[in-house]
Amino acid sequence: MNEPKLRRVGIVDVRFGTGVTVVEPVNLYGCEIGDGCFIGPFVEIQKDVRIGRRCRIQSHAFICELVTIGDDCFIAHGVMFINDLFARGGPAGGDRALWKSTTLGHSVSIGSNATILPVRIADRVVVGAGAVVTRDLTEPGVYAGNPARLLRRLTNP
């Protein structure tokens, strides 16, 4: 009987701000999590990810390398961030030169099971549940669908 090669990550080389809550089990490694954040169970946050202050990352979210999240953001259950667009017709594997970055502004809310490709998202954006964000969202508003489209603009706070 063959034995599998086991790898345990857990929490390794993470820079935490003050007042951060983490509910295990999680895989957090090589990332930075700002003051007052909440990280739910079954979340993976990979290296070189930066999360601002007072963010809430719900269970089963996956935040891949090259993602930056602003302050006061909400990432709902099952949200997936993507950094590989399969530029060569398949996964880039370890060729980081083919990976792209994603940046979320401040006060961004992403609904459950949304998929976020490498894009820039402006401050005060709401992305609906199940949406697929394939291009930059440049103005405050509510976006939904596949691909995500502006449903309505948000007025001043």
Query: Strands (DSSP E) along 5-148, which ranges?
Result: 11-12, 15-16, 21-22, 27-29, 32-33, 38-39, 44-45, 50-51, 56-57, 62-63, 67-69, 74-75, 80-81, 102-104, 109-110, 115-116, 120-121, 125-127, 132-133, 141-144
Cα–Cα distance, 148 to 144 (Å, whole number): 5
Residue 11, exposed/middle/buried by CB under 10 A (0-12, 13-18, 19+)?
middle
Q: In the chain, what percentage of residues exceed pLDDT 70?
A: 99
- Band (157; pLDDT cuts 50, 70, 90): low
Indicate the Cα dihedral angle 51, 54, 60, 66, nearest 10°. Answer: -10
Report yes or no: 95 and 59 within 8 Å, Cβ to Cβ: no
Report yes or no: 125 and 131 within 8 Å, Cβ to Cβ: no
SS3 of 10-39: the string is CEECCEECCCCEECCCCEEECCEECCCCEE
Q: Does domain 11-153 have CATH number 3.40.50.720?
A: no
Indicate the Cα dihedral angle 39, 119, 142, 38, nearest 10°. Answer: 10
- Domain residues of the chain, as ranges? 11-153
Q: What is the pLDDT of residues 129-151, one digit of tens each?
A: 999 999 999 999 999 999 999 99
Q: What is the pLDDT of residues 33-48, one digit of tens each?
A: 999 999 999 999 999 9
Q: Is the pLDDT of residue 156 over 80?
A: no
Q: Is the pLDDT of residue 123 over 70?
A: yes
Q: What is the pLDDT of residues 61-105, one digit of tens each?
A: 999 999 999 999 999 999 999 999 998 889 988 788 999 999 999
Report yes or no: 79 and 67 within 8 Å, Cβ to Cβ: no
Would you state the structure tokens that stand for residue 35, as one six-digit string?
Answer: 């003051």
